[in-house]
Structure 1
Amino acid sequence: MWRFPAEAGSNGGGAFVLFYIFCVLLIGLPVLLSETLIGRHGQSSPTLSARKLAVESGASPYWEAVVGIGVVAAFLIVSFYCVVGGWVLYYVWQFLSDLFGSGVTGGAFHGVEIDTIRAFFPDLLANPGLSVGLNLLFLAITGFFVVRGVSGGIEVMAVWLMPLFFVLLVAITIYGAFGGAFGQAMDFLFTFEPEKLTGEVMLAAVGQAFFSLSLGVAGMVTYGSYVGREVNLAGTSTIIAAADTSVALIAGVCIFPIVFAAGLAVDGGPGLMFQTIPVAFQSIPGGTVVGLLFFLMVTVAALTSSVALLEVPTAWAMEKFKASRRTCALGVIVAAGLLGTLAALSFNTMADFHPLGFIPLFEGQGMFDVLDGVTSKLFMPIGAILVCILVGWVADARLVDSENGLDGALHVFWRFLVRWACPVVLAAILFVGLTS
């Protein structure tokens, strides 16, 4: 909801979108199946699942460090991700306030200057108390579901909140189709212009496919450990990838008609969600209600992601320390809250603090950008490359074959992708990330 439209807008639309779909199929799906395979085979925490697969294949138990990288990455990501979740809550409050203040018929923030609406976001970033408070509030909501466990919290959220998310997404998309510049948006998203498919765009598409499926952060290994033996992992992984990609595409179809109808630029990058979109709602009928529903929808989407991320270090801690879910979850939440506080303050009172400034790659970056960069440019691609090596080269082929749910030509093709194509492409992403 946040990153895909921003990336599509910044990278020329159709060329990026179509190559992104290609990358999901040939890069994302094979790695996704590999991660769920490790988890289902081990039926334990991410690191112990990797250890079990390696030991039963006659390899070193230290291969558990492969997934350990992902556990660390998940913890670091959820620490700064809840800062972004707090931003979403802020806009929910802004639209609620506007609803009670000006009614439902006109555009959002009726009578408010565009520059004032655009200033909401930088003003939020500059306010340390508000930024930290919203971050901790979103983290607390996330922790509520994780503390309740898989069946009592995570499954309840999936059963109730995910359908609500889809209803809101489809409703706003239909609204945009009739009330926005739908044809212009469709042309932008799905017209393939070969000259726009540059090396930079291709790498951006691969990175987005990888990021969107949450690969390299041990999340799918964790959830794979909860999957029963009767489930076909290949079919389940395909459903996950298809659903994820469908939501990304619908998000584009939802957002861009409204942006085009308002005559705004689509290449706003990460600011598209928090500056361009609120301005767009100003000019459309019922913009206050639609804007409120839109950011409620984004809140649900962000919450499901943060819960998935927080579950990873919680599951690891439970296995490592033999403690209760409640104790481990609360410990992770406190640690993530402290780190997230530093990330939130990096936009204001700690803007001059550059924790890794001595490294050229992170020179001049605050805590938020460092956490983002370390995870996306280092941990995620390295973790995924090592997962491919573990499953494709180290693990006993018989163990892998008994878990993956593939046979015939599909199995041969999957093994080729995991052993050769995926590591090469991921290594290219790692190289570009380190040199850009």
Structure 2
Amino acid sequence: MSKPQNKEGFSSALTIFFATLGSAIGLGNIWKFPYLTGVNGGAAFIIIYLGFVLILGIPLMLAEFYIGRSTGSNPIGAFDKIKDSKWPKANKIFKVSGVFTMITSMFVMFYYSAVAGWVYSYLFKAIKGDFNVLATMNVSDAVNFTKTSFTQTVSDGKVAVFWQFVVLLIVTIVLAKGVQKGIEKVTSTLMPVLLVLIVVCDVRALMLSKAGEGISFLMKPDFSKVSTDMILTAMGLAFFKLAIAMGVLIVFSGYYKKDTNLIGISFKVAISDVVISIMAGLAIFPVVFEFGLNPSEGAGLLFQSIPLSFAKLPMGNILLIAFFLLTAIAATTAMISLSEVPVRFLSQQFNISRKLSVIISTSIMFLIGALTVHPSSIFGGVRIFNKNLFDFFDFTTSNVLIPITGLLTAIFVGYVINKKSFVNEITNEGALAKYKGFVNFVLFSLKVLCPILIILIFISSFK
């Protein structure tokens, strides 16, 4: 297959790793994965999760890497450039999966940028010392304080929109600088900083008297928790946690070097993602148990339990600043990755400058997000299928678009693409021939295992 010459690209294997990891790391690593691990059997859940990463997550990552690096194009344009197809006319049919990734990346950014704005707001509050008062409150008053603080943050439309604007302004500035000077430089700086901050929080958390309870909750293997629901949860996480079916991996792999070890990158990112999630849990749950709080997930954990727990520790506000800084980093790198999808599409398909593509993309994200996802916004009261627009965007992407896109991608690469073309691309034209057996397993998974598992995920999401 002829390869287009990309003017932009990542400069080294390390920066490729950091950028791709930045696309996988997000708020879910902090407010979802650790909790689901704890309530579903700890290490038992992690083992099952890693199994699904191997048979579902990595094959789909490699399928998107194939589409992206072999064409150097955006998720929609890529299907016009793929030549090694058994049925060339099928490319146009499967092009719809590229359209879905575009819609997904935009829908996610509408509400994700709002949540990231809440994180930035809490980081600012921590820096100002707004949570210091929690140290002298009893638990009941402290709980009421954190609940009120979160309600005010979400319901105050002007403040929420301001922080959403700040978040997207940062994303705009980074993307406007390009791949190497923007995405690469920022992710290569922020990922190590995030790791250092997590280690600092871990060290302090593990010094607490109830650290053992936190570790046990997160890591103690409990195979009695293995059930159909638990397996479906692990399966779903393996599918949703690695930026699959959002267009990010297609776009980023278009910036990879031709000698990049795609299999190596997929494993490194998948394993690092799990490790960071566990480390985040070790920073959170010992502190939560220290003050007799119940472990939770989502906004309740991030914006209520965390401020309450950390503020009661010696030098707790410093730790709280560090924690919300690492959370802001995770949210920012994820948004940079997601926003690059429409930027790449606009610049290639309409032949306009990168800066103009960035401004158009982030402006749309801000305007629609600001007008729809906040309770007090103009369209905040609109409901579709009995869901407000925040929940509608979330439900549509997670339960409909991403599973369908993943299914179409698996079928396209598994059945439509010539096997030789896929094997050559993934093994770097035979330079990585030692992985040929694994590549054959990946193809089997794309043809058989992935479609079955994705259909199960799709059905279970409507239970």
TM-score by length of 2: 0.86
**Which ranges in structure 1 are unaligned for 5 or more consecutive residues?**
358-362
Counterpart AA for 2:453? V
Counterpart selection for 2:445 from 417, 424, 435: 417
* Shift of residue 12, structure 1, vs aligned partner: 5.4
Aligned-residue offset at 1:351? 4.7
Q: Hey, what does 1:28 align to over in structure 2?
A: 57
Assess if the C-alpha contact under 8 Å between 1:318 and 1:328 holds in 2: yes
- Structure 1 SS opposite 2:77: helix
CA 1:381–1:68 in 2, change beyond 3 Å: closer, same or farther? same
Deviations 1:363-400 (A, max 9, x none): 2x111100111000011111111111111111011110
**CA distance 1:413–1:324, shift in 2 (3 Å):** same
Q: Pick from 102, 116, 121 the counterpart of residue 90 of structure 1.
A: 121
* CA distance in structure 2 between the aligned counterparts of 1:344 and 1:134, rounded to whole angstroms: 13
Q: In the alignment, does 2:102 pair up with 1:71? A: yes
Query: 2:233: which partner in 1?
Result: 204
8 Å CA contact 2:109–2:338 kept in 1: the answer is yes
Matched, 1:381 2:403: yes
Secondary structure (helix, strand or coil) at the match of 1:142 reads: helix
Aligned 8 A contact 2:35 2:281 in 1: no
Distance 1:169 1:427, change over 3 A: same
Q: Which is worse superposed, 200-209 or 345-354?
A: 345-354
The equivalent position to 1:367 in structure 2, one of 361, 385, 389, is 389
Spell out the pairing of 1:119-268 with structure 2 (5 A cutoff).
119-179=148-208, 181-268=210-297
Distance 1:312 1:143 in 2: 13
Q: Could you say if the C-alpha distance between residues 52 and 349 of structure 1 is closer, same or farther in structure 2, counting changes exceeding 3 Å? A: closer
Deviations 1:133-176 (A, max 9, x none): 11111111111111111011101102211111111111111111
Give the residue type in structure 2 aligned to 1:94. K
Q: Is the 8 A contact 1:86 1:131 kept in 2?
A: yes
Q: Partner of 1:46: helix, strand, or coil?
A: coil
Indicate if the aligned counterparts of 2:84 and 2:421 stay in contact, CA closer than 8 A. Answer: no
Check 1:12–1:268 CA distance in 2 against 1; reply closer, same or farther (3 A cut).
farther
Question: Structure 2 counterpart of 1:393, which letter?
Answer: Y
Residues in 1 aligned to 2:223 and 2:210: alpha-carbon distance in whole angstroms: 24
Q: Give, as a single letter, the amino acid of the residue that structure 2 aligns with 1:383.
A: T
Q: Is the 8 A contact 1:146 1:154 kept in 2?
A: yes
**C-alpha spacing 1:257/1:347, structure 2 compared with 1 (3 Å):** farther
* 1-structure distance, mates of 2:47, 2:329: 27
- Within the alignment, does 1:401 sit opposite 2:423 as a pair? yes
Deviation at 1:9, TM superposition (A): 4.9
- The one-letter code matched in structure 2 to 1:296 is L
- State the Cα deviation string for residues 274-302 of structure 1 (Å, max 9, x = none): 11111111321111110011001111111
CA distance in structure 1 between the aligned counterparts of 2:333 and 2:192, rounded to whole angstroms? 12
CA contact (8 A) 2:172 2:359 kept: yes
For residue 354 of structure 2, the aligned residue among 325, 329, 347 is 325
How big is the shift at 1:47?
1.9
- SS for the counterpart of 2:207 is helix
Please tell me the residue identity of whatever aligns with 1:90: S
CA offset digits 1:256-280 (Å, max 9, x no partner): 1111112111134442111111111
Q: Find out whether 1:291 has 2:320 as its counterpart.
A: yes
| TM-score, length basis structure 1 | 0.91
Partner of 1:426: 454
Alignment partner, residue 391 of structure 1: 413
User: Alpha-carbon deviation of 1:328?
Assistant: 0.8
1:191-233 superposed Cα distances (whole Å, 9 cap, x missing partner): 2223322222222222222222111101101001111111121
On the 8 A contact 2:35/2:296 being kept in 1, the answer is: yes
The amino acid that maps onto 1:69 is F
**Residues 404 and 12 (structure 1 numbering): CA distance in 2 closer, same or farther, change over 3 Å?**
same
Q: Structure 1 pair 312/180, CA: closer, same or farther in 2 (3 Å)?
A: farther
Deviates more, 1:245-254 or 1:394-403: 245-254
Asked if the contact 2:100/2:405 (under 8 Å) is kept, the reply is yes
Three-state SS of the structure 1 residue aligned to 2:393 is helix
Q: Is the 8 A contact 2:77 2:349 kept in 1?
A: no
Give SS of 2:98's match.
helix
Secondary structure, counterpart of 1:215 in structure 2: coil
* Cα-Cα RMSD: 2.1
Q: Are 2:135 and 2:311, in contact at CA under 8 Å, matched by a contact in 1? A: yes
Post-superposition shift, 1:353? 1.4
Q: Shift of residue 186 of structure 1?
A: 2.0
The answer for the alignment partner of 1:274 in structure 2 is 303
**1:16 correspondence with 2:50:** no
- Contact 2:72–2:254 (CA<8 Å) still a contact in 1? yes
Note if contact 1:39-1:50 (Cα within 8 Å) is conserved in structure 2: no
CA distance in 1 between partners of 2:261 and 2:46 (Å): 29
Contact 1:217 1:380 in 2 (8 A): yes
* 2:72 corresponding residue in structure 1: 43
Deviations 1:297-319 (A, max 9, x none): 11111100000000011101111
Cα distance 1:15–1:123, how it changes in 2: closer, same or farther (>3 A)? farther
Partner of 1:360: none
The verdict on how the C-alpha distance between 1:288 and 1:142 changes in structure 2, with shifts beyond 3 A counting, is same
Cα offset, 1:325, TM superposition: 0.5
Q: Percent identity between the aligned chains?
A: 27
Q: Offset at 1:182?
A: 2.5
In structure 2, distance between residues paired with 1:110 and 1:288? 13
